[in-house]
Amino acid sequence: MSLGKIIRQRREERKLTQDQVAERVGISKPYLSGIETDRVKNPPSDGVLERLEQALGFGDDDLRKMAHLARTPPDVRQENERLAAEVEKLRAMISRASAAGGGEAVLAEIAGRLKAMTAAAGAPPTISAGRAVPIINRVAAGYPHHFTDLDYPPSIADQYVRCPDVHDPQAFAARVVGDSMSPKYRPGDLVIFAPNAPVRDGDDCFVRFASDHSTTFKRFGAADGGRVRLEPLNDAYEAEEYGREDIDGLWPAVMRVEALR
**Are residues 66 and 16 located together in one domain of the fold?**
yes
> For 170-206, what is each residue's pLDDT tens digit?
888 888 888 999 999 988 899 999 888 889 999 999 9
pLDDT in tens, 211-230: 877 888 999 998 888 899 99
CA angle 162, 166, 171 (to 5 degrees): 85
Residues 96 and 22 placed together within one structural domain of the fold? no
Q: 224 and 111 in one domain?
A: no
One domain for residues 56 and 94? no
Identify the H or E element spanning 93. Answer: helix 74-100
What does pTM read for this prediction? 0.52
Pair 137, 224 in one domain: yes
Distance of CA 198 to the CA centre of its chain: 17
The answer to whether position 126 is within a domain reads no
Residue 182 domain boundaries:
131-257
Determine if residue 95 is left, alpha or beta; phi over 0 gives left, psi from -120 to 50 gives alpha, anything else beta.
alpha
Residue 29 falls within a domain, yes or no? yes
Q: Are residues 112 and 210 in the same domain?
A: no
